[in-house]
Chains A and B, each alone.
Chain A
Amino acid sequence: MSLENSTLVKLNNAGFKQNDKWLVEGVSLTVEKGKIVTLIGPNGSGKSTTAKIALGIYKNIEGTVEKYTNKVGYVPQKISIDWTLPLRVYDFMLLTEDIKDEAIDEALTLTGVMHLKNKNLGNLSGGEFQRVLIARAISKKPELLVLDEPVQGVDYTGEIALYELIKKISDTLNCGILLISHDLHTVMTATDHVVCLNGHVCCSGTPMDVAKNNEYKTLFGEQASQILSVYEHKHDHVHSEEGIKKN
C-alpha cells in the first residue's frame, strides 16, 4: 500500500505512444477515495487514453501507474457489442462480477432503467444503453469509478440527474471517480480536481484555478472561463476576487 491510504490510482509522468505518435504524455495525477477528478480537453487531447492508462488497459506505457484497488467500475466512451451474442440487460449486469439481484435492481432503479432489465441489449436506445452502462459500473460498488463521457446521448434532464447521482455515489460509497466530460458547467459543480489536457497536462487544480488559467482560456475561450465564475458566484456567494484569495 501507499503511504497515503486514500490513494486509489496514481499516474507518474505517464504517457502512451501508438504507431510512433504520442497520444498523451507526461500526465501525473492522483485519484483518492471520495474525490472526483475530472479530465477536460478538446477532441484528441488524450482524455480517454489517460483513463485507459489509469485502468491498466494499455500495457507499454511511459512512466508508471500505481493502482491500489481491484474493485473498478468502468464506463467506456465507445463500446461496440457484437450482436452475435444474445445478451439481456440482466446478463450484462453480471458481466464482470456475480452481484446479487438486489444490487442489480438498486443500480438499475438509480439510473432509471429498471423497466429494461429483461430487454435485449441490442434493442436499447443510445441514452438507455448509457444508463445501463452506468448502472453496471456502480452496481459493483467499486472503489474506483472511471467514467468516460458517461452521459453522452442522455436527455438533458437525465443528464443533470445522472451527474447528481455520480456525485452522490462518490459521497456514499466513498469511491474515487475519474470523470471525463465535455460539459464544463457540470464539471465545475461536482469536481474536486480538474486536469486540463491537450496532449499533455496544460493545467490542473481546483475548478477555479483552472478557470483562471490562461492556457485554459486559449483552449476553451473566454466564455468557458465565465461559466465557471458564474457558477462559483451562484453557489458560494463570494465574489471571484475573494474566490481567488480563498484558494
Chain B
Amino acid sequence: MLDDFFVRALIAGLGIALVTGPLGCFVVWRRLSYFGDTLSHSALLGVTMAYSFELNIALSVFIISSVIALILIQLQKKTNLPGDALLGLLAHSSLAVGLVVIGFLTFIRFDIMGLLFGDILAVTTNDIFIIWTGGAVILTVLKLIWKPLFASTVNYELAEAEGLNPDRAKAIFTILMAAVIAISIKMVGLLLITGMLIIPAAMARNISDSPQKMVLFSVIGGLLSVLLGLFSSLEFNTSSGPSIIMAALVLFILSLLNIKQSIKLKN
C-alpha cells in the first residue's frame, strides 16, 4: 500500500495536520504567525545544509530553525528594535543566505518549486516515519507543557505568580515550532507552513467557545484540508501545499458564514 505515492502523501499529510492543529491554536493565541514565517523561511537554509552535508532534511531544518529562534531571543535582549523588525530581519536574511548558498551548490539539482510549495511525489516511507514519530513527540511534549503554556498565554503574571514557570514553557514551545516546521516542510513547502498552522486554527476560532473545542476543530479542519487538498492536487495536477492551504481557506470561509448566521439569530 505504501508503494503508492498518493497513499504515502495522505498518511504524511494527515500526520502533519494532527500536529499543526493544536500548535496552530497557540500560534493564533500568542500572535506568533510572523514568528512562524521567520522560522519557515530560515528552513531553506536548513535544506541547503542538508544537501551540502548529506544530512536528513528534517533534522537539518530543525537545527537551523532552533538556532534562528535562539538568535532572535538574543537580539531581543541586546537591541531596542521592535519584535517584528527583528523577525523581518531574520526571515529575509536567512532566506537570502539560503538562496545564495543554493546558487553555489551547482552540483545538485534543486526543485525550488517543490521546496517552496511542497511536493507530494517526494514523500518517502522514511518521511512518513519522521512525521509520525516526530509528531508523536511534539504532541506529547505539548501535552506536558499545556498548563503553564496556556496559563501564560492568558496572562503571564498570573502564571508566574502561581508558580508555573512560563518562561520554560515558552522556550520549549519555540523548539516545538521549529520541530513542526521541520517535519512538514517537504509536504507543505516552506512558504505555506504558517498557513497550515494558522488557517485551520482561525477557522476553529470562529466556531468555538472554549479552548478545548478550538483545538479539536482546528485538528479536524486540518485533516479535512489535507484530504480535500491532496485529492484536488491529484485531480488537477497542482502543487500539494497550495492545494491544502486553499482547502483550508474554503473551510475558513464556510466558518464565517456560520458566524453571520449566529449574529442574525441573536438579532
> Which of B15-23, B93-101, B106-114, B148-156 interfaces with chain A?
B148-156
Name the one of B158, B209, B213 contacting A96, with C-beta atoms under 8 angstroms: B158
- The interface on chain A, measured as residues whose beta carbon lies within 8 A of the other chain's beta carbons, has a size of 28
Q: How far, in whole Å, are A30 and B250 apart by their CA atoms in the complex?
A: 59
* B210 beta carbon closer than 8 Å to chain A: yes
* A3 beta carbon closer than 8 Å to chain B: no
* Chain A, residue nearest B159 (CB): A96
* B211 beta carbon closer than 8 Å to chain A: yes
* B220 beta carbon closer than 8 Å to chain A: no
Query: A95: shortest Cβ distance to chain B, in Å?
Result: 5
Q: How far, in whole Å, are A82 and B205 apart by their CA atoms in the complex?
A: 13
Query: A53: shortest Cβ distance to chain B, in Å?
Result: 11
> Which of B161-169, B181-189, B257-265 interfaces with chain A?
B161-169
Q: How far, in whole Å, are A186 and B28 apart by their CA atoms in the complex?
A: 42
* Chain B, residue nearest A90 (CB): B210
* Chain A, residue nearest B164 (CB): A96
Chain B CB within 10 Å — which of A56, A73, A85, A146 has the most?
Answer: A85
**B contacts with A: majority SS:** helix
CB-based contact A87/B211 at 8 Å: yes
* B84 beta carbon closer than 8 Å to chain A: no
Known: A96-B147, A96-B151. A85 touches B164 (CB 8 A): no
Query: B88: shortest Cβ distance to chain A, in Å?
Result: 22
Name the one of B153, B157, B160, B209 contacting A86, with C-beta atoms under 8 angstroms: B209
How does the 8 Å CB contact mask read for A22-44 relative to B, with 1 for contact and 0 for none? Answer: 00000000000000000000000
* B52 beta carbon closer than 8 Å to chain A: no
Instruction: Give chain A residues whose Cβ lies under 8 Å from the Cβ of B160.
Output: 55-57
Between A and B, 19 residue pairs with Cβ closer than 8 Å are A57-B161, A72-B161, A72-B162, A72-B163, A74-B158, A74-B162, A76-B158, A76-B161, A79-B155, A81-B155, A82-B153, A82-B154, A86-B209, A86-B214, A87-B210, A88-B209, A88-B210, A95-B151, A96-B164
Within 8 A of A (CB), among B228-264: none
Q: How far, in whole Å, are A91 and B150 apart by their CA atoms in the complex?
A: 11
CB-based contact B161/A95 at 8 Å: no
Q: How far, in whole Å, are A74 and B162 apart by their CA atoms in the complex?
A: 7
Q: How far, in whole Å, are A120 and B161 apart by their CA atoms in the complex?
A: 24
